[in-house]
Structure 1
């Protein structure tokens, strides 16, 4: 499936950006200008069932990855993926062979017994007004800016709830056996899906692991400047 791509810049280095679950390419509104300043040609995709990409009858990790490979079709300098997008990144790396990859809070740890569910029932979203959605985000994520809230509400309006079937697939797919290209994994300290107990394993498999202190799974929505400081030398 050919995906919608939010494309910007004319640099000679391609950066592919892959958003997380129930989000879209609008997620990268802060990172994109930074990449443009560094000479990148940015290609931010909308995964199937997200943003302005087509809806589908099936949503699996291999299908998400195949769509990205078909859409991009060449080896980029950099791939960055967040959450679901991080798992998609792991599956596209062997095909696209980027020069380097960055994983934002990749879901490489199974939830421990009694841990809160980071992917709650979202079935009520379609019936909520934009104002109700925004109010919910302000309550749940007080560190987010109004722009981050606006972008998230807009992405929910374009999201196919049927993609929720992907979540179990994402959490059970696990960590790649090894890093095929230079790879940086940023782990959230709070509400993470990449627990501290698994950081050493990731390092043994060739991933550079850095902790984002005080941040949640949302990472760059919580504190973009901190996240940028953690990845700047990799851009």
Structure 2
């Protein structure tokens, strides 16, 4: 039986902002590493909340690290707040869990942005991710992070070291092991009923959502669109932050993602007061 755990939060922006976004990090990461999105959304008048996923950061530890369990935790965040999220941004594992959460509960969020999401991991990508996580836990020094990612902002370097130090290595390993034969949320992606945009990584650098997989997912659901950040790897917000944030703003300003025309000022005010 899957039961949700309460996820710790970091927040950027005014709590009474008219629109609220949820930020969901990837495997071996943390809420704090979603800071680029939090800062940008707060600058644009949103309230952005990032969570530590189970087994990561200050979140509770558990035995179940299936995608379904991560999704259950995310669905519970919306129910706790009493309103749908206006936007959810999910990276990698967070993208997979957010996809499942939205498919499970169409009222959970009004929009989705997925950052190089782990929709379906094949053997090659699963091994690349496993090896990357092992390197991070085996040598969690800032010098090592800088050597591997020399173009990252210093805050990303610091926060990556902190995220690895506070994550459960067992939880990260179990996430791979427990989903080994079932890391596949393509059916959930096909069921998504909200506008969804994938901000993809550049396959010439490294991407886990490209090629035949991307074409299949996009063809299965017309609500899903996609763009790619050139010269960005699996974490575009760290590899090419300015370009990634500019793309996010373009997506949110597009017709499909435009502000809720059906909500009048009175209802938006009521939502802000309730939050």
Q: Which residues of 2 match residues 83-122 of structure 1 at below 5 A? A: 83-94=92-103, 95=105, 96-111=107-122, 117-120=128-131, 122=133
Aligned position for 1:16: 22
Checking the alignment, whether the CA contact within 8 Å between 1:109 and 1:195 is kept in structure 2 is: no
In structure 1, what is the Cα distance between the partners aligned to 2:156 and 2:194? 31
Aligned position for 2:84: 75
Q: 1:5 to 1:140 in 2, by over 3 A?
A: same
SS in 2 for 1:87: helix
1:182 aligned to 2:195? yes
Q: 1:86: how far off?
A: 0.1
Q: Which residues of 2 match residues 1-235 of structure 1 at below 5 A? A: 1-8=5-12, 9-10=14-15, 11-73=17-79, 74-94=83-103, 95=105, 96-111=107-122, 117-120=128-131, 122-123=133-134, 128=139, 133-163=141-171, 164-167=173-176, 169=179, 172-175=183-186, 176-189=189-202, 190-204=205-219, 205-206=221-222, 207-235=224-252
Q: 1:119 to 1:218 in 2, by over 3 A?
A: farther
In structure 2, what is the Cα distance between the partners aligned to 1:29 and 1:121? 22
Name the structure with the higher strand share: 1
In structure 2, what is the Cα distance between the partners aligned to 1:166 and 1:93? 20
Checking the alignment, whether the CA contact within 8 Å between 2:99 and 2:185 is kept in structure 1 is: no
Q: CA RMSD, aligned part only?
A: 2.3
In structure 1, what is the Cα distance between the partners aligned to 2:127 and 2:229? 20
Q: 1:203: how far off?
A: 2.3
Name the structure with the higher helix share: 2
User: How many equivalent residue pairs?
Assistant: 232
What does the per-residue CA deviation read over 1:176-223, in whole Å, with 9 as the maximum and x for residues that have no partner?
224310000011112111122333223222210101111110211101
Checking the alignment, whether the CA contact within 8 Å between 1:16 and 1:76 is kept in structure 2 is: yes
Q: 1:100 to 1:88 in 2, by over 3 A?
A: same
In structure 2, what is the Cα distance between the partners aligned to 1:231 and 1:148? 19
Q: 1:182 to 1:120 in 2, by over 3 A?
A: same
In structure 2, what is the Cα distance between the partners aligned to 1:113 and 1:222? 22
Alignment gaps of 5+ in structure 2: 253-275
Give TM-score scaled by structure 1 length: 0.89
Q: 1:52: how far off?
A: 1.0
In structure 2, what is the Cα distance between the partners aligned to 1:84 and 1:13? 24
What does the per-residue CA deviation read over 1:117-170, in whole Å, with 9 as the maximum and x for residues that have no partner?
133164575564xxx521221121122122110010011111011222212527
In structure 2, what is the Cα distance between the partners aligned to 1:72 and 1:113? 34
Alignment gaps of 5+ in structure 1: none
Q: 1:65: how far off?
A: 1.1
- Please say which of residues 165-174 and 63-72 is displaced more in the overlay: 165-174
Checking the alignment, whether the CA contact within 8 Å between 2:231 and 2:240 is kept in structure 1 is: no
